[in-house]
Amino acid sequence: MSTEHVIQPKSSLHPRSVEGRFRNLKTGILVLAYAVFFLLPWLRWERAVGPDQSVLFDIPGRRYYIFDLVMHAQDIFWLTALLFLAAVLLFFVTTLLGRVFCGYFCFQTLWTDAFRFIERAIQGDRVARLRLEKQPWNPEKIRKIGLTHLAWLGLAMWTGISFAIYWGDAYELTWSFFTGTAPAAMYGTVIILTLTTYLTAGWAKEYVCLHMCPYSRFQSVMFDQDTMIVSYDMNRGEGTAGRVKPVKEMRDQTNRQAAGHGDCVDCGLCVQVCPTGIDIRDGLQIGCIHCALCIDACDGIMDKQGWKRGLIRYTSEHGLEGKKTKILKLRTVGYGLATLLATIYLVWSIASSKLLEANAVQIRSPLYVTLSDGRIQNSYEFKINNKSMEAARYTLTLENLPNAELDLGQINELSLKPDSSMRVLAKIRYTVQPGDTLKNREFQFKLTPLEGKVTEPVIIPSHFIMP
Ligand code: SF4
Ligand code: SF4
């Protein structure tokens, strides 16, 4: 990998806009990602209980709502599984297709792309922006530059607000934000996100990819000669005599080939459209985020010339050498399998999560009490968690503990609202039988649903301690 451009980013890049299939794909992903991020909290979603916001992370209520999925604090391991899945998926995709995540899905790419759209809409395309940059400060320059930064700040602030409203009611939080009554945490979050978004997407731009992102540093260890990456076909582009501009007889491909020149007409368009300002003709570089915009640019030139597309294309090192690209390799299969297993586990775990949970914790001080009538009493804190969206009623009984009585105090009926939990103090009084010397008895609590979504009883093993 060449490092020629690693530490020499252009100080002020003005990438040219380009049309083509990869640009369309990037724009499509950008629109979809923005639609999801900015609109989801505003979408209402009816639930039997709980808020009517489609996606809401309710920290005080310890509930995380994603459409019909309601996660509780104890489901946090799903997040661990999701992070693991994201990591192996990233490794899998990188091994196959290089840095496509960077080029299409990374937040930095998406926001920088949106900022560049704004810049282009206000200041014009590359040539106009270069001219504006060189001209002295005058009313036109102040207006255009000022408007650009205002629009960037607007998008950055809306990004911060959109993030913050995932953690509460979107309508209420937005209203309170603009009327000065929002919680301090919201103002803090919005200020931090506005500043970081504005600085990274508006000022740092490609510097983040080139100097700050750790992923670009270790991506090369995941590449091999069969990884599909954006590559310049050196043999075709340079020939034996190098690239040459299409002047005079060099406009004709046959003449060029006869003179030993390749198909690269040295138009420089692939460099001008590059968002990180590198020249793909210098080989694979750490600054290349594999956005493929240089492919679109070069394909456009090849189309104009009437020559075959693909001088710059997605291919592997083996492909460029005329060898076969091997997709199925131990590493790819391994990452693919890990991705598949992590997906299956996550889906299974969510689909089979219990809607009724119960546990009993023995109160240990004291472990037992001998009552005046000679019976032995043990106490337990019994917890029932009804995770369903329906109200439920239960009965609690004992199994394998004859001669024992269960006392739930003032509670006659165990009834719970939808998505709620309760704690009950359960006392068990045991009548000691002649010759009964066993000190530790195993028994079970049996929680039987009488009404509600869950119909299967829950058995909770426990112990009864004797003197
Ligand atoms: S766009 Fe294609 S033809 Fe133009 S300089 Fe780049 S590689 Fe050469
Ligand atoms: S070299 Fe091509 S693929 Fe790489 S970042 Fe630049 S435009 Fe994107």
Is residue 361 located within the same domain as residue 328? no
Q: Which ligand is nearest to the CA of 278?
A: 2
Tell whether the model's pLDDT for residue 371 goes beyond 60: yes
Element (H, E) at 445: strand 440-451
Identity at 353, one-letter amino acid code: S
- Is 90 exceeded by the pLDDT of residue 140? yes
* Residue 223 binned pLDDT confidence (cut-offs 50, 70, 90): confident
> Is the separation of the CB atoms in 290 and 229 below 8 Å?
yes
CATH of the domain at 374: 2.60.40.10
HSE-CB at 379 with a 13 A cutoff on CA atoms is 14
Q: Is the pLDDT of residue 237 over 90?
A: yes
Distance from C-alpha of 55 to C-alpha of 86, rounded to nearest angstrom:
20
State the distance from the centre of ligand 1 to the C-alpha of 117, rounded, in angstroms. Answer: 24
Give the count of domains, the chain: 2
pLDDT at position 411: 84
Same domain, 275 and 341: yes
Q: 315 alpha carbon to ligand 1 midpoint, in Å? A: 17
Same domain, 15 and 157: yes
Long-range pairs, 302-311, Cβ under 8 A, ≥24:
302/263, 305/246, 305/253, 305/263, 305/265, 307/253, 307/263, 310/233, 311/232, 311/233, 311/236, 311/237, 311/263, 311/264
State yes or no: pLDDT of 4 exceeds 90: no
The reply to whether ligand 2 has any atom less than 6 angstroms from the CB of 392 is no
Q: Are residues 387 and 260 in the same domain?
A: no
User: Is any atom of ligand 2 closer than 6 Å to the C-beta of 100?
Assistant: no
Number of Cβ atoms within 10 Å of the Cβ of 326: 12
Pocket of ligand 1 (CB under 6 A): 232, 237, 264-270, 281, 297-298, 301, 311-312
What is the reported pLDDT for 416?
93
Shared domain for 370 and 345, answered yes or no, is no
Of 322, 353, 384, the one marking the end of a domain is: 353
Instruction: Decide which of 353, 369, 388 is a domain's last residue.
Output: 353
Residue 13: band (very low, low, confident or very high) from pLDDT cuts 50, 70, 90: confident
CA nearest ligand 1 atom 1, residue: 298
- Give mean pLDDT, residues 429-437: 88
Give the structural domain span for 127: 1-353
Do 176 and 162 belong to one domain?
yes
Share of the chain above pLDDT 90, in %: 77
In a shared domain, residues 83 and 128: yes
Residues 266 and 326 grouped into a single domain: yes
Are 199 and 255 in the same domain?
yes
278 CA → ligand 2 middle, Å: 7
Can you give the pLDDT at residue 263?
Answer: 97
Q: In whole numbers, what is the pLDDT of the chain averaged over residues?
A: 92
> 146 and 241 share a domain?
yes
- Of 311, 329, 353, which residue constitutes the final position of a domain? 353
Ligand nearest to the CA of 13: 2
Q: For residue 26, which ligand has an atom nearest its CA?
A: 2
> Binning pLDDT at 50, 70 and 90, where does residue 9 land?
very low
> 23-37, 131-145, 398-412: which has the minimum mean pLDDT?
398-412
* Co-location of 198 and 50 in the same domain: yes
Choose one of 298, 304, 312, 313 to mutate for the ligand 1 pocket test, by most ligand atoms within 8 angstroms of C-beta: 298
- 328 contacts 226 by C-beta, under 8 angstroms: no
Contact call for residues 284 and 293 (beta carbons, < 8 A): no
Same domain, 196 and 344: yes
Is a pLDDT exceeding 80 seen at residue 446? yes
